[in-house]
Amino acid sequence: MALLMFNPPGLRGAEGEGQATQFPLFVSTWPFGQPANELARKTVERGGSLLDGIEAGIRLTEADFKNLSVGIGGLPNRDGVVQLDACIMVGRGHQAGAVAAIEGILHPISVARKVMEETPHVLLVGQGAQDFAVDQGFSLQPLLTATAREEWRKWQAKQSDPKRDLNHDTIAMIGLDAAGNLAGGCSTSGLAYKLPGRVGDSPLIGDGLYVDNEVGAAGATGVGENVLRYCGSFLVVEFMRQGLHPQAACIKTIERIARLDPLGVDELFINFIAIDKAGRFGAAGTGEGFEYAVTYPGSSEVRDSAALSSRSVGAIGGNQPEPRGENR
Ligand code: SD4
């Protein structure tokens, strides 16, 4: 397998750039993570906790109907129903909450937080998740926008595979406060036109998100099937535990997955962000074009991630029937 091409910003990051000098630090996926980060930072500056910041930032993205892959406006499943996935995690106490395939609730990230704080459980799914949300005072509302319905109708007319190339817009956000505590959250409508009930990496602890208060935090975006078969975010954190810079840990995780997976690096379509306890940060994707947002007092910017393949971000993935190529 032909490994690997790195773009220069990625290499520079891996060699030591990417260090917050003030806190809180928030890092999230994609350029739309920047306003989410900035709201998160303001929330903490106004006296909120790190988790309050993560929740507030992700809620901003969930409420943006122009984002076709998170919250309202998210593209629906095969049957035209928007099913959302989210999780939240705090390093201190190693607590987590999540919801998957929840319908009719605008802010799954806040329901995930309620699961963490109000129940002895970690993950609620489907009808049970919705019933819990309603019990907690969340109101039900339609999430399928006219634009998303139109896209779904076009897809129905084509009867193509679940769409995996358009909406790489999941938000994963990770943060570090001045006391050295970490937290994170992740929210998505998942792959467009997925089978009803399909759950990706995003709400699964260790896959779409992982926070370890001794080491760091990581989050993922891309084709969930290619992350959750490898415990992707957990692996990033474990590589940081071994001493790697967050960006090098993201790169090494993708190399590991690309080595094992029949799809190979060009067709995995996965991306990771990471921060460590010292405030260093980085990101890597299989293809070119994955950007991430980094915000801390005095600085807020969108950065290029390292890329391991010259293919652009796009997607198709999942379990493959037969290994292809050498050593697979
Ligand atoms: C999923 N990882 O459900 C999500 C989709 C995504 O950018 O991240 N899109 O597989």
Q: What are the tokens at 328?
A: 């697979």
Q: What are the tokens at 96?
A: 């987590």
pLDDT of residue 314: 57
Mean pLDDT of 75-101: 97
* 286 within a domain of the structure (yes/no): yes
* 73 within a domain of the structure (yes/no): yes
* 17 within a domain of the structure (yes/no): yes
Binding pocket residue ranges, ligand 1, CB within 6 Å: 69, 168-170, 188, 190-191, 200-202, 221-224
Q: What range defines the domain where residue 41 resides? A: 3-307
Q: What is the count of structural domains for the chain?
A: 1
* 202 within a domain of the structure (yes/no): yes
Among 122-126, 289-293, 313-317, the range scoring the smallest mean pLDDT is 313-317
pLDDT digits (tens, 9 = 90+) for 200-234: 999 999 999 999 999 999 999 999 999 999 999 99
Confidence of residue 311 (pLDDT cuts 50, 70, 90): confident
Distances (CA, A) of 28 to 71, 210, 225: 16, 13, 20
Mutate to test the pocket of ligand 1, among 99, 188, 209, 257 (most ligand atoms within 8 A of CB): 188
The string of DSSP codes covering 132-197 is HHHHTTPPP-----HHHHHHHHHHHHHT-SPP-SS----EEEEEE-TTS-EEEEEEE--STTPPTT
pLDDT of residue 297: 96
pLDDT of residue 51: 98
* 319 within a domain of the structure (yes/no): no
* 313 within a domain of the structure (yes/no): no
Determine which one of 29, 145, 170, 221 is catalytic: 170
Q: What sections of the chain are H helices per DSSP?
A: 8-14, 33-45, 50-62, 108-118, 126-135, 146-158, 225-228, 232-241, 246-260, 265-268
Q: CA-CA-CA-CA torsion for 20, 24, 29, 31, nearest 10 degrees?
A: -80
The CATH number of whichever domain residue 161 belongs to comes to 3.60.20.30
* 327 within a domain of the structure (yes/no): no
* 290 within a domain of the structure (yes/no): yes
